[in-house]
A and B are shown apart, each in its own frame.
Chain A
Amino acid sequence: MNTPVTTEPAGNERLVVTRQARLTAKLTTHVQTVAVGGVLLVLLLVFAFSADQFLTVNNVLNLLRQIAPTMIVAVAMTFVITSGGIDLSVGSTVALSGSLLAIAIAAGWDPTLALVAVVLLGAAIGFVNGWFSAYHGIPAFIVTLAMLSIIRGTALRATEGYSTPIPRDTWVVTLGQGRLFGIPVPAILALVIAVAGWFVFAKTPFGRYVVGMGSNAESLRRSGVAVRKVGLSVFVLTSTAAAVAGVLVATRLASGSANAGVMFELEVITAVVLGGTSLFGGRGSIVGTVLGALVLGVIANGLVLLHVSPFYIQILQGAILLLAIFLNQKIFSRFATRT
């Protein structure tokens, strides 16, 4: 401000341009988040009128408990996808962490120790994913697809295909089944993780670099940012989140199974894409992801209450993913590129 600006256009002209540009910019960044919020509202209204049981306190709390694992992993997945990657191995990690938790407790491990070990194992899986994709440039799609098979196989081998019960008197069962102030513990955990995820994504240098990586990784590298570390960290986030989700699923059912979390990755990715995060990286929204996860949860829950065959839910979920990507590509990206 200390240098006199000689070639300034008339003050009010600049203001007009400014207001329009700012409005357009704000609108374009958030248009899909607003849209998915609208979809959620419509769904809530439809099911509230068509299914008697839908708007009961019990059902809503139950819905939140069921969608919590998806939401937790989806928040982490938002980081991976925004950075330009993808993690297909989360469903298998859910199965492995739940299975090993149950097996360890059955083998006489202290439940707390078993819990910590399982979450650390999740972080280690993410480290492997990140090492191959971020440090050696192998496409994340292939790395995590291979890991999907490896981890699921490990879980099946460890359990020999049987589910392992978790005794209901171990404290970890409260993680899946318990309530705090009447609210299911998984829902509280999901809320805490979503808020923390939003904070890191929007307010910290790490979140900024995740966006930068998906936007122009070479530019970020030239700016002196340790791009590979950022690229590895996001995979540690998803795998750790998946391990936590596996614990929630297993303790909710009081049983660890190697068949848990089949197609879980699809549900998570659908929630993220539905929320407006671009599969090509650069654009992401944690709020959108949370809303996207809620939409999926409401649909699944509402259709069950309407006695629709659960097989349709899977068909619908795939269709939603396809539609979300289509809209993201064809409609919403047009807002983003308009200048």
Chain B
Amino acid sequence: MSQRESTTDRIVMRDIRKRYGMVDALRGVTLRLGPGEVVGLVGDNAAGKSTLMKILAGAVVPDSGEILVDGAPATYTSPREAHELGIEMVYQDLALCDDIDVAGNLFLGREPRTAGGLMLDERAMHAQAREHLDALRIRIPLTDLPVRALSGGQRQAVAIARAVTFGPRVLIMDEPTAALAVSEVRTVLELIRTVARRGVSVILITHRLQDLFEVCDRLCVMYEGTLRADLDAHTTSLEALVEEIVGRGHAA
């Protein structure tokens, strides 16, 4: 099993548990992630994928368990602290501010400033936004349009660009391709490969199983709050993966 820890791991999550009232969302999950590795996290609805990733991103605090970042134990209780450790998340529900423009959303919370930090540096913000979007080949003509004026695909692209452009060490993507047109899916998958080649570790949650085989190195299957299987994406077949997700093969 590749869950065996090594000293070069980017992330180790050890025996993570989380309860919501009577519901055991996570029942002791251990997950590791190497530098530049792309891991697909799959499982049925309510298997605990999103909770696990919210914990890694600092949005949810686990009841117990340990997280190591580059070998060092890390305790953080907010997204801000997770950001500081280089852990970024692209959320499923498009966490953008509709009334703020594209550049403003890209830099939300980390705006370039001038006048000793007092003022927003709008010019630098728009110039850098243009550069980032072009580098990621995201086609949005104007960076001073409010996000509400964009299409669903463009909005998702902005959300992803926001996470990527700050040079994260770990990038978590929760259903990044769900709202995209076919051509935009290709762009995002290509983007994931590019990012991973730069050494960024990527965790990809998706229901589009065909996407996983295109970009992932490993496939981790969750089932009812546990990590049930850790498969090599290059040698596993789609059928075997589906068997693991729905729970056959283990019961036998």
Contacts and interface: CB of A to CB of B under 8 A. Distances in A.
Contacts of A339: 148-151
A339 B146 CA distance: 10
B21 interface: no
B96 interface: yes
Contacts of A223: 79, 95, 108-110
Nearest to B130: A1
Nearest to A281: B99
Contact of B97 (A24, A29, A216): A216
Interface string B87-109: 00101000111111000100011
Given A24-B149, A219-B108, A282-B99, A204 B142 contact: no
Contacts of B80: 224
B124 interface: no
B131 interface: yes
A229 interface: no
Contacts of A216: 95-98
Interface stretch (A14-22, A131-139, A319-327): A14-22
A221 interface: yes
A212 B120 CA distance: 14
B139 interface: yes
A305 interface: no
Contacts of A337: 148
B138 to A, nearest CB: 10
Interface stretch (B29-37, B111-119, B211-219, B238-246): B111-119
A315 interface: no
B59 interface: yes
Contacts of B110: 223-224
B162 to A, nearest CB: 8
A199 B9 CA distance: 47
A219 B97 contact: yes
Contact of A215 (B99, B130, B135): B99
A29 B146 contact: yes
A25 interface: yes
Interface in A1-58: 1-3, 5-8, 14, 17-18, 21-22, 24-25, 29
A104 interface: no
A218 interface: yes
Q: Which of A17, A22, A222 has the most CB of B within 10 A?
A: A222
A148 interface: no
A7 to B, nearest CB: 7
Interface string A256-294: 000000000000000000000000001100000000000
26 contacts: A3-B135, A5-B137, A7-B137, A8-B139, A17-B141, A18-B141, A18-B142, A21-B142, A22-B145, A25-B142, A29-B146, A203-B119, A214-B99, A215-B97, A215-B98, A215-B99, A215-B100, A216-B97, A219-B95, A221-B79, A222-B59, A222-B95, A223-B95, A282-B99, A339-B149, A339-B150
Given A208-B108, A339-B149, 11 more contacts: A2-B131, A5-B134, A21-B141, A22-B145, A204-B120, A219-B108, A222-B79, A222-B95, A224-B109, A224-B110, A225-B109
Nearest 6 pairs of A and B residues by beta carbon:
A223-B109, A224-B80, A215-B97, A219-B95, A282-B99, A215-B99
Interface of B: 59, 78-80, 83, 89, 91, 95-100, 104, 108-111, 113, 118-120, 130-131, 134-135, 137, 139, 141-142, 144-146, 148-151
